[in-house]
Amino acid sequence: MKVLIVFQLLIGVVFLVLAALLYLLVAGYTSGVASIWEVCLYWGGLFSGPLLMVIGSSLSALGRKSGPPLGLVGASLLTLSMVYQLVLYLKAQDRGDIPYMLHFLAVAVIIALAADASAYLVMKKGLTAI
């Protein structure tokens, strides 16, 4: 079961780095923002899931009781944000073409669902120590 905690930590770090890189890439292209709150909610939602996964799996590895619930909430937020990104992308594209971004988002959703499953198993088994 150590593998599940390490898997959560790895997925959280990877998605956190990808969200940070995406933020840095998009920050240079924006010219004007309609509402600062929309931007804060969007990027806060993108960062909160992986951050909670990293914190939750780290606390689980240290033997804290609050680790598995934080990991489960973080994995759920990550899955919701990836599904939201996929739905937005599908709305913006034609139905005829299947670009590489769609494949990337589909793989991201599958990985996020695997992180959900591992977080659920860690929570169910009550694993708080490695």
Question: For tokens 């790895």, what's the residue?
Answer: 10
Find the helix packing angle between 36-62 and 2-27, rounded to 10°.
160
d(CA 125, CA 43): 32
Mean pLDDT value of segment 26-54: 74
Instruction: Note whether 108 and 75 are within 8 A (CB).
Output: no
- Amino acid type, 37: W
- Say whether pLDDT at 118 is over 80: yes
Least confident of 29-33, 81-85, 91-95: 29-33
- Amino acid type, 8: Q
pTM: 0.78
Size (the chain), residues = 130
What are 95-116's pLDDT values in tens digits? 556 677 778 888 888 998 999 9
Domain parsing of the chain, residue ranges = 2-125
